[in-house]
Amino acid sequence: MGKRQNKTEKRNRRAKMKQYFKPLHTVAPQNVTVVDGDTVKFSKDGHTFYVRLIGINAPELNLDNSQSPQPFSIEAKERLGQLLLDAKDVKISLHPNLTDDTQNRLLGHLHVNLKGQYMNVSHVLLSEGLAVPYKIRRGLTKVERMNYDLLAYEAQRHRIGVHSIPGYVTEDGKFDENKRAV
């Protein structure tokens, strides 16, 4: 019964996503909460919606299995949470494709209003070494891809965050499970 209910919930969420949201629209949800370093969630009309941040990959918390959290996953989640806490308001710019490959999460850029200026949280996470550019970056313009790469390069050059562990960040923008902080 549990799996059938889960499938029904996912089907209902997909239908509601198509009903409430349109590609390239900007939404300003209330009470956005952090799932992990590259995913947030919010509620609308009693439904919970997840948003995967476009173009970045943060280390996995591994909460749904027996593995321990990857290095810097907790720091990435906490930093994203702090940005949301400090924000006067939040906007999410939705991706042209609207959902990820699983069709269970919206895709978008998360912008927080800090001191009267909107800031893309992905820029902060990349510059602080708490995320890396995701190599499959559909939905990013060429300029955005270059900015993401430059921010990550600076974090790598200064060996901060995920870049402080030799070999931890792989060439495809993922994290080597066998590398741990020293």
DSSP the chain: -HHHHHHHHHHHHHHHHHHH--TT-EE--SS-EEEETTEEEEEETTEEEEEEETTEE-----TTSSSPPPTTHHHHHHHHHHHHHH-S-EEEEEEEEEE-TTSSSEEEEEEEEETTEEEEHHHHHHHTTS-EE-S--TT--HHHHHHHHHHHHHHHHTT-GGGGSTT-B-TTS-B-TT----
Confidence of residue 96 (pLDDT cuts 50, 70, 90): confident
pLDDT at 110: 97
The whole-number average pLDDT for the span 79-90 is: 96
CA–chain centroid gap for 73, Å, is 12
| Pairing mode, strands 106-114 and 47-53 | parallel
Global confidence as pTM: 0.89
Q: Which fold has domain 2-120?
A: OB fold (Dihydrolipoamide Acetyltransferase, E2P) (2.40.50)
pLDDT at 118: 96
pLDDT per residue as tens digits for the range 9-18: 778 888 888 8
Least confident of 84-93, 115-124, 140-149: 140-149
pLDDT per residue as tens digits for the range 58-83: 999 986 777 789 999 999 999 999 99
For the chain, give every domain's residue range.
2-120
The answer to whether the CB of 59 falls within 8 A of the CB of 74 is: no
For 73, residues 6+ apart whose C-beta sits below 8 A from its C-beta are 36, 37, 58, 59, 60, 61, 62
The answer to whether the CB of 52 falls within 8 A of the CB of 59 is: no
The whole-number average pLDDT for the span 113-123 is: 95
pLDDT at 1: 44
pLDDT at 3: 57
Burial of 132 from C-beta contacts in 10 A (0-12 / 13-18 / 19+):
buried
Give the gyration radius of the chain's Cα atoms: 16
The whole-number average pLDDT for the span 141-147 is: 90
pLDDT per residue as tens digits for the range 4-62: 657 887 788 888 888 899 988 999 998 999 999 999 999 988 889 999 999 999 999 98
The answer to whether the CB of 126 falls within 8 A of the CB of 76 is: no
